[in-house]
Structure 1
Amino acid sequence: MLMIHVMGKKIEEKVVLHLLEKSELTEKEGELLEKAKGAVKNAYAPYSNFNVGAALLLENGQILVANNQENASFPVGVCAERTLLSYANANFPNITPLKIMIVAKRSQESNYATVTPCGLCRQTISEYELKFGCAIEILMLTPEGNVLKAENISQLLPFKFNDLNS
């Protein structure tokens, strides 16, 4: 809910994340979680040792996976979320993405780490929400095994490029 107060020049956006226990996940969300965990294992992160996996549920029920891909030239590396959304759009350009699960783990640790999409990934998710005219749920695993859920990208990126220009 975007609120703009002209007199006070105050702009507010309410942000809400839901904390779900694993037992509260739907069957498809549980499948997304397991596939994202599997994708973490194949991440290429020799510089940061921070492995990220993502799984994307498409409207047709298909689940795609990807992970982060680093490069010695740091700006060349690509996050799991952008790798996944780019692949999905290149190969399934007319199938709406519905949910993305993100899982992260440091190479030498057994526990997962909470991670949210970076700014570039947030803007990329926003772009696909615009393209398809549909919210994409963002699900993020916590170290305790719970899942943070954002109902759409506005919950993680409240003031996107297009929000203040309409």
Structure 2
Amino acid sequence: MINKLNFSVSYEAYDHFSELTDEDQLLCKKAEAALVTSYSPYSNFKVAAAVQLSDGKVITGSNQENVAYPSGLCAERVALFTVGAAYPHAVIESMVITAHTDNFKIEQPVTCCGSCLQVMAEFEKKQDKEIDVLFYCIDGKILKVKGVKNLLPFVFVEERLKVDNC
């Protein structure tokens, strides 16, 4: 017998930046400011992320390309790995992802790749708390998602791989 199952995705959609809370607006602006640190000479597609920690610190990251494409890294992972290396016990409350290119007008929020979602899921698991994720289209719509499972419902988890001495 075949079981057909469904799952739903929950998110908030905002038409205008002004609809966001002051805290979310500030985080969006910090992500937008981080676009200047993008190293994207090949795609000319700048992506930046800003991560809000529970103690108020904001960590930013931007995409870093390399002529050998697999050697580059997305903005989300740059920011998250910075948190992991510099603030290993920090709790991430929220993060914003935004993008810009001079080649065309970005009209919809840019979302994360699967690798970035998996890294975000690992941080949620580590801190035992969901992360609010905002996809901020500059001068456009903003999507807000509570928790990575709304973005990656079949997230890879394997509890038997857990090491107790970490």
TM > 0.5: yes
1:95 maps onto 2:63 in alignment: no
Give the match for residue 15 of structure 1: 9
TM-score, length-scaled by structure 1:
0.88
How much has 1:43 moved relative to structure 2? Answer: 0.4
Give the match for residue 163 of structure 2: none
1:53 maps onto 2:48 in alignment: yes
Give the match for residue 37 of structure 1: 32
- Show structure 1 runs of 5+ residues with no match: 1-6
- Show structure 2 runs of 5+ residues with no match: 161-166
- Deviating runs (4+, > 6 A) in structure 1? none
User: Alignment RMSD, CA only?
Assistant: 1.9
Q: Secondary structure at the match of 1:11?
A: coil
How much has 1:40 moved relative to structure 2? Answer: 1.0
User: Normalized per residue, which structure has more strand?
Assistant: 1
Q: Secondary structure at the match of 1:95?
A: coil
Residues matched between the structures, number:
158
Q: Do the aligned partners of 1:99 and 1:137 also contact (CA within 8 Å) in 2?
A: yes
Q: Deviations over 1:7-45 (max 9, x none)?
A: 542232211221123222122111111111111122000
With over 3 angstroms needed to count, the CA separation of the structure-2 counterparts of 1:110 and 1:14, relative to structure 1, is closer
Give the match for residue 153 of structure 1: 148
Q: Do the aligned partners of 1:105 and 1:112 also contact (CA within 8 Å) in 2?
A: no
Supply the distance in 2 between the matched residues of 1:11 and 1:141 (Cα, whole angstroms): 31
Supply the distance in 2 between the matched residues of 1:98 and 1:138 (Cα, whole angstroms): 9
Q: Deviations over 1:77-123 (max 9, x none)?
A: 00000000000111111110111100001134465652101000000
2:134 to 117, 131, 139: 139
Supply the distance in 2 between the matched residues of 1:107 and 1:24 (Cα, whole angstroms): 26
